[in-house]
Amino acid sequence: MDIIEIQHPSCHARIALQGAQLLEWTPHGCDHSLLWCTPDQYFQPGRAIRGGIPICWPWFNKQGQPSHGFARTERWTLCTQETLSDRVIVTLELKDSAHTRELWPHSFHLRLTLSLGHECQINLNIDCQAASTGALHTYLNVGDVQNTQVSGLGLAYFDSLTQQQVQIDDLDAPALQINQAIDRIYTTPLPLSIVRSPLFPSAIEVEHQHHQEVVVWNPWREGAQSLSDMNTDDFQKMLCVETASISHPLDTQLTMKLRLAADH
């Protein structure tokens, strides 16, 4: 599997051409990636990679097959790479092909721009006349999920595990803490999710733009045991906080944006 490796004074990063998937981002001054990713031993061409920031498109979850769409299993084309004093900018693209039209009979042009330095910014531009949904499925490397807190999620969510809509009435409700399997689609999120983790002396900021929802997911021990590309205890180390547009189709031209930042 072809991997782009970036070594820059501001960060170290790895990007898989399959899925244009950012696998690792370690800003300068940090001794570990802010992104969790399954070990390389599980990488197989044509199989979705669990971890980093997969691109879920043109559908989210099991709205079609394969689950979360085909953008994360197709090989993207590297268009440009620019090295600046404070960051590296990489642009990749994916266009429809005979194979993608078998899965989804529409033409499209996706363009992904990654700006990687002390901050990580991802812009996904979607040019397509057909309705679609999607997400930037960010796997954060939190170290200890039970001692991790997430705020800025809003007061309403759909619980995909219980299939219930939940409204939080307490405006001063504490930040979310995870002590069991979670799969929630927050429907009134703030533009900024704040993640506090034992791995980081300060918070991780996940800034969402041009989104409708934010998804929070962790499979917990039982769920991890059912996943062939996840070690039994890996659930303790990761938490997904995802920029998403699920409930309403995306516009024909749209940019989904994600910014990650952490002070060390």
Residue 137 among the catalytic residues: yes
The values of phi and psi at residue 216, to 5°, are -120, 125
Answer for the pair 4, 14: CB distance below 8 angstroms, yes or no. yes
Answer for the pair 57, 134: CB distance below 8 angstroms, yes or no. yes
What DSSP element (H or E) covers 102?
helix 98-103
CA distances to 123, 127, 156, 185 from 254, rounded to whole Å, are 10, 7, 25, 21
Question: Could you tell me which of 146, 139, 147 has the C-alpha nearest to residue 217?
Answer: 139
Answer for the pair 10, 69: CB distance below 8 angstroms, yes or no. no
Q: Which of 137, 208, 211, 213 is catalytic?
A: 137
Phi-psi region of 16 (alpha: psi -120 to 50; beta: other; left: phi over 0): beta
* Cα–Cα distance measured from residue 40 to residue 37, given in angstroms and rounded to the nearest whole number: 8
Angle at 62 between CA 185 and CA 238, to 5 degrees: 55
Residue 205 among the catalytic residues: no
Q: Which of 24, 119, 213, 242 is catalytic?
A: 242
**DSSP states of 2-41:** -EEEEEETTEEEEEETBTTEEEEEEETT-SS-SB-B--GG
Residues with active-site annotation: 137, 242
